[in-house]
Amino acid sequence: MSIRIQRFDEHLKMPWKNGLGITREVISRPASDGAGGFDWRISLATVGTSGPFSVFAGIDRTIAVLEGDGMQLTVDGRQQQPLLVGSPPFAFSGDAEVQADCLGGETLDLNVMSRRGFFVHRMTKIDVSAAQTLSVSGDTVAIVFRGDALVAIDSMGSEVGLGDIMISEQVPFEFTVEPRAADCTLYSIEVTAALDRASEAEPVA
């Protein structure tokens, strides 16, 4: 089993595609057809000023707010519900024109992106009010933490906090999480091959 915890300060910093901010890249899989870019990516971004999101043609996106005052997104001219800490993850197309208006100070958000037609992703928000054991499927590539907690896999335990991420090599496993604060939440991220791509990989008799 290959599982590791990557700390917030260990994530790779890089400029936004549009040059208006900084993203901390957690994990990325390069495009499988050699076309450049990525098949899927998980990242954290700090948004301090209002402005447009970068356009990612052919990419599906999901975003969630981990910390801060949140933001109001306008997607292709349609204003969405305010995206706040505690809001469910919001999915949208990377092809869309997106304006993000800050609702106060800085906001830390979690972003998952996957290349349409090649991979499909799902982000699930899980509130943790008491110690519990969670089962993770083989499609789960990362668990993202918001709020302090103690996590344990078998006999190994580790303290985690905001922006720490448990990365898995897509193997099913169980772990126990014990909240250390009232606002403990985690986000499970699953990535699967798109159905048409999976069928292409099947052997022909």
At 98 the pLDDT is 95
**pLDDT recorded at residue 205:** 38
Model pLDDT, residue 203: 45
Coil, strand or helix at 137: coil
The pLDDT of residue 204 is 39
Show Cβ contacts of residue 118 under 8 Å, excluding neighbours closer than 6 positions: 32, 39, 193, 194, 197
147: left (phi over 0), alpha (psi -120 to 50) or beta: left
> Mean pLDDT in each 10-residue stretch from start to end of the chain (205 residues)?
87 78 88 79 91 92 96 96 95 96 92 96 95 92 94 89 89 91 92 72 44
